Structure 1
Amino acid sequence: MNLKKITLLMLATLLLITPLVGCNSKDDSASTPANETSTSGDQASNTLIVATAFPEALVRDQILNKFIVKYPEIDVQVVDFSAKLMKIQQEILNPSTNDDGKETPSYVKMYEEAITGNPTPDIILLNGDIISQLVSKDLLMPLDPLMEKNKFDQNRYYPNVLQQLKDMGNGSIYGVVTGFNTQALFYNKGLFEKAGIEPPHDDMTWEQIQELAIQLTNLEGEKPIYGFDFSRADGIGNPFSFLLDYARPYDISFIDPVDHKIVMDTETWKQIWQDVVDMFHEGYIPPTKDMKDLDLAAAQQDPMSMFPGFYKGEVAMATGYAMEAQILNMLKEQAGNGAFEELKDLEFDVVTYPTHTSIPNVGSGVFSTNMYAIPQGASNVDNAWKFLEFITSPEYLQHNKDLFDPLPAFQDQQLQTDNINYDAFYRLDSAPYQKTFDELPTIFEIYEAGGEELNKAIRHEITVDEAIANFQKRAQPLLEEGFAQLEKAE
């Protein structure tokens, strides 16, 4: 889970959980702290134990209470390890808190401990980025036999979502989703109207978007306006993350998992680096900083300082996740009385993610923040399947949407509108699924090195070839160290 997704998840969780603070929907005695058992043999036969990294109050209010209405005879218990998740996020966002000798923060290990703890959960809520690592450790139950037995129609899923689920499990399905996330191009309606320029439309290429961005850029006024920006949901914007997003349709990885090598000195990668550097040199993208310059203390005093320029009306167009449309609307509702004032007048819409001329009709990648799986060793598989069947049923989904993945995953779900062109998130083919390397303890340092070297090329301090060479030289030992730590942890 990269830093951008971490920040999105934290913000969305904060916005959703705030109304629930101090009012858990069910008695706290129903909660089971991680690694403690509260289930006797007599109870186990009609129990459902749900493990989650989201706060219990949120999960009960949004999901479990509805399940209990249909199945009141099932004793639903919760293993809440959200405190562990928050601790890991804080350590990643502020590495200085992770003292020497202290165990390296790991999402994979956190989920592994939840799955293998006592009691063993029957259902675990996962981040989609993690599932392939858990599958490789044989910690999750394949769901295909249960789906076949219970006549679950996989073709209800949108084709790109179904393919992603299968790719994550090497051809088998190990988790179900009710929503997903992908990127589109957001644009500020007011800035285009003020400039008298036609706004972007669906199916535009990167070259066409760049031409628009140049026209919209105006750095001479009292408030500089930039024509384009990439998603800066991490609060600072590591251009290396944007570079990888830009490269996704090419279906290439910069990490060789077999030989444990950084591979970016190819002609394709060099052209991608050059393309991104050229975009910045055109002057229509706001300047970037290095990750080490992220000032969390200042952000706590002024939350708006962490928000991307698009949120504040300083950028005409920006790539962004569907989740950000949801967050923007939630923030706009809360704007006023001194809070989020700059968001009050923001009117935006979305069009399809820019495409490469050489790879038409292929947009951004698909990911799911919220995935439901059955761990190996679950004691109540029948109840677990009842839960999966319930949350994926048309009856449930007609009135409920996913907590953090706002795009309906099933074709029989009704698309929301919110006066936004949500079809833009579905119109293009998804970029091919790529295995993430989030389990590497050093992956954030590798991203940081990539961002720093890319920034040097953007600032004309070094050439693109030098930036790539420097990155490979810095990242290779970090990659080797990461894999060594993983092997030692085994």
Structure 2
Amino acid sequence: MKRTWAALIAASALTASTACGSTGGDGKAAEKTANSAAKSDEPAELTFYMTSNKIEEKAFNEKYGDKIREKFPKYTIKYIMQEDSKTLPNLIAAGQTIDIMISSIGLTSAFLNNMNLQYDISELIKTNGYDLSKLEPTSVEIQRQIANGGMYGLPIGTSSAALFYNRDLFDKFGAAYPKDGMTWDEVYELAKKMTRKEGDIQYKGLTMAFQHLMFLNQNSAEFVDLKTNKSRMTEESFKKTLLNYARFYQIPGNELPKNKFTLASQSTPFLQDHTAAMYITLSAPPKDDPTSPNWDVVQVPSLTDKPGIGMQSYPTYLYLTSMSKNKQAAFNVMSYLTSSEYQQWMVETGGGFSSLKDPKLLETYGKNAAYLKGRNLKSLLPKTFAAPTVKTEFQALGDKEGYTALEDYLNGVDINTALRSASERLDKAIAAQQGK
């Protein structure tokens, strides 16, 4: 089971891509439905859908399905695998009902809001006496933002970012391993030290998932202003964030290929080629596979003016959709999956990081997963998350201009000019998307 789970965790984490949560309208108000009195011992059929590509039913059952059936023996649990971006629109066009959607905040807008499947569960939370205070606070705050004070979903888990390193490369070059509590300046100096060429092999000191780090940045800098739907890319906090990351790509030998960013150019040297000493990305551990590097992990470095503050949280949510005909039964399942009973099991088996705010749960992460033994797992999540930024429906447009601004700057364009040009293009793209 461990390899299937590891693949599921990694795939879920990597969906932290260009799409992100919408701040859209009020959604479907939580009207009282005919099934609101349903009990957990009454038969019900529930269909699940995950927005991560090609998560097979076996993996779904190992992490969710089997535990749900065990808890609710009279529920029939079905699962539909996403093949590609056309899967969900095709299902909806065919009249397929989806009761619970499992999606990261990064894909919420594309799969929930843009398909008009959002549903405010506030009334169900109230009538069922569900205690929101047990949840990690920023994951609730994010939902309040995108649902205009309501709640579209409950967080089943969260993630953030971490610094992974290749033990073998540090041993090879006689360098001390990275440690928790380092600043970005210290990691920059270490990256310069570890960037070198031996024979035909170019070793990189540090690669990073730039788009994820911008999305979760410690300055809480935003691409778009929620109130005006205008770019915020020229603001000082945004410029500081981009420059902090960009300097690593200016280290000789550590450059982006042709100054063009792709995630593959950053992940492959660490995960497959074993030629990158460090890699900052989402908190999901490398897969349990012989091809993975001999890795360990430390916290993302701190900003000097924000000591101890990590990246923002990156939650995965259980969304009760507007099309569900078994809303109370679905909420019963959502309540169970966010209970201490299920969350403890999930964490101990390395199935994900808990959405509950109990810090002791992280201490037991991977307890029953042999391949995670002996690693600094407590550093996969920060002790303190940065304040969450508003996730707007224009994030994909912002990401695109973020790449362009980075690439322009690396090609010699003044940073203020690069950001001003990107900001102007973003404003035009937002207006076009709004049909103005």
User: TM-score scaled to structure 1, two decimals?
Assistant: 0.67
For residue 32 of structure 1, what is the aligned residue in structure 2? Answer: none
Among residues 301, 309, 329, which one is paired with 1:362 in the alignment?
Answer: 309
Residue 321 of structure 1: which of 276, 282, 289 is its match? 282
Q: Distance in 2 between matches of 1:164 and 1:174?
A: 10
1:127 aligned onto 2:104: yes
C-alpha distance in structure 2 between counterparts of 1:395 and 1:275, whole Å: 41
1:185 has 2:154 as partner? no
The residue that corresponds to 1:385 in the other structure is 331
Indicate conservation of the 8 Å contact 1:139/1:375, yes or no.
yes
In structure 2, do the counterparts of structure 1 residues 120 and 63 end up closer, same or farther at CA, with 3 Å as the change threshold?
same
Residue 48 (structure 2) pairs with residue 46 (structure 1): no
* 1:276-309 deviation per Cα after TM superposition (whole angstroms, max 9, x unaligned): 4433223363424566989xxxxxxxxx988421
Q: Which residue of 2 aligns with 1:33?
A: none
* Contact 1:204/1:354 (<8 A) preserved: yes
CA gap 1:65/1:49 in 2 versus in 1, 3 angstroms: same
Secondary structure of 1:249's aligned partner = coil
Q: 1:274 to 1:409 in 2, by over 3 A?
A: closer
Secondary structure of residue in 1 paired with 2:188: helix
Q: CA deviation at 1:180?
A: 1.4
Residues in 1 aligned to 2:90 and 2:306: alpha-carbon distance in whole angstroms: 38
Q: Offset of 1:481 from its aligned partner?
A: 1.7
Matched residue, 1:353: 300
Cα distance, 1:378–1:160 mapped onto 2, change above 3 Å: same
Counterpart of 2:75 in structure 1 is 74
CA distance in 1, matches of 2:242, 2:432: 25
1:416 alignment partner, one of 366, 373, 376: 366
Structure 2 counterpart of 1:477, from 415, 425, 428: 428
**1:160-214: per-residue Cα shift (whole Å, max 9, x none)?**
4444444444444331233211101111112222322222211211111112112
CA shift digits 1:103-136 (9 cap, x unpaired)? xxxxxxx58985x984654333333234478579
Whether the aligned pair in 2 keeps the contact of 1:290 and 1:452 (CA below 8 Å) is no
CA contact 1:179–1:402 (8 Å) conserved in 2: no
Matches within 5 A, 1:291-306: none
Q: Which runs of 5+ in 2 are unaligned?
A: 1-6, 15-41
| Contact kept in structure 1, 2:202 and 2:253, CA below 8 Å | no
Give the alignment of 1:56-455 within 5 angstroms: 56=57, 58-78=59-79, 80=80, 82-83=82-83, 86-88=84-86, 110=88, 114=92, 118=95, 120-131=97-108, 134=112, 139-231=117-209, 239=210, 241=211, 244-245=214-215, 248-283=217-252, 285-289=254-258, 307-311=267-271, 312-323=273-284, 325=285, 328-330=286-288, 332=289, 335=290, 340=291, 343=292, 346-368=293-315, 370-376=316-322, 378-400=324-346, 406-410=352-356, 411=358, 413=361, 414-416=364-366, 418=372, 419-437=374-392, 439-440=393-394, 444=396, 447-455=399-407
Larger radius of gyration: 1
- The separation in 2 between residues aligned to 1:180 and 1:199, in whole angstroms, is 27
Letter in 1 for 2:11: A
Q: Which structure 1 residue ranges, 5 or more long, are not aligned?
A: 1-7, 16-44, 90-109, 232-238, 295-303
CA distance in 2, matches of 1:284, 1:380: 57
Query: Given that residues 138 and 387 in structure 2 are in contact (C-alpha distance below 8 angstroms), is that contact kept between their aligned partners in structure 1?
Result: no
- The answer (yes or no) to whether the contact 2:43–2:76 under 8 Å persists in 1 is yes
DSSP-derived class of the 1:226 partner:
strand
Contact between 1:249 and 1:363, CA under 8 Å: does it hold in 2?
Answer: yes
Kept in 2: contact 1:216–1:227 (CA 8 A): yes
1:359 deviates by 1.8
Q: Residues 284 and 430 of structure 1: is their aligned pair in 2 closer, same or farther, counting only changes over 3 Å?
A: farther
Query: Hey, what's the Cα distance between the residues in 2 that align with 1:284 and 1:203?
Result: 26
How far is the alpha carbon of 1:141 from its aligned partner?
3.9
Query: Following the alignment from structure 1 to structure 2, what is the Cα–Cα distance between the partners of residues 399 and 256?
Result: 40
Alpha-carbon spacing, 1:481–1:67, altered in 2? closer, same or farther (3 Å): same
In 2 relative to 1, CA 122–279 (structure 1 residues): closer, same or farther, beyond 3 Å? closer
Quick check: 2:302–2:310 contact (8 Å CA) kept in 1? Answer: yes
Check whether the contact 1:46–1:380 (CA below 8 A) recurs between aligned residues.
no
SS at match of 1:229: strand
Q: Tell me the percent identity.
A: 20
CA distance in 2, matches of 1:136, 1:87: 12
Query: Superposition RMSD on alpha carbons, in Å?
Result: 3.8
Give 1:57 shift. 5.1
C-alpha spacing 1:447/1:405, structure 2 compared with 1 (3 Å): farther
For residue 270 of structure 2, give the secondary structure of its aligned residue in structure 1: coil
Distance 1:272 1:184 in 2: 17
